[in-house]
Amino acid sequence: MFYSLFMTAKALWSPTAFGVSGAVLDRNGQVLLVRHSYMPGWQLPGGGVDRGEPPQAAILRELGEEVGLTGGTAEFFGLYSRKAGWATNVVAFYRVTGGAIAFRPSLEIREICFADPASPPPDTTQATLARLRELCGAPLSPYW
């Protein structure tokens, strides 16, 4: 009982959200980027990890929901942290290969593109640019 109360108080005092993001690579080494309806710029797709869900399963589920990914293999690439208001957001980043995309625009994701990781579109977000540089061999940062 005490442990449960302690963990509840800790979550309220110092909340942490756990998310996943994926670099979906096609056969030519191009990376999938998405444009959200609620945020500007091109970004890597991803989302939240459900309670008790393994992050590797979460990225495949999120990619299926957001961009119509079927199949594929998710390989862990890095773990990142960022401030999100007064909470901490922890993001597990995966390299995803071997899947197929059947995208349909939705209320969340308006459009997608495949881009050269070394030369992404001009309005790609800073966090996405950093992850693309890391995919191309730059040292990993601990921050998203």
For residues 119 and 33, the answer to whether their CB atoms sit within 8 Å is no
Q: How far apart are CA 140 and CA 144, in angstroms?
A: 10
Q: Which pTM value belongs to this model?
A: 0.89
4 part of a folded domain: no
Q: How many domains, the chain?
A: 1
At 61-86, the pLDDT tens digits run 999 999 999 999 999 999 999 987 88
122 part of a folded domain: yes
6 part of a folded domain: no
**CATH number for 41:** 3.90.79.10
Average pLDDT, rounded, for the chain? 92
From residue 8, how far is each of 4, 85, 106 by CA, in Å? Answer: 6, 19, 35
H-run or E-run covering 61: helix 55-67
Q: Does residue 13 carry a pLDDT above 90?
A: no
From residue 109, how far is each of 39, 53, 59, 137 by CA, in Å? Answer: 10, 23, 16, 28
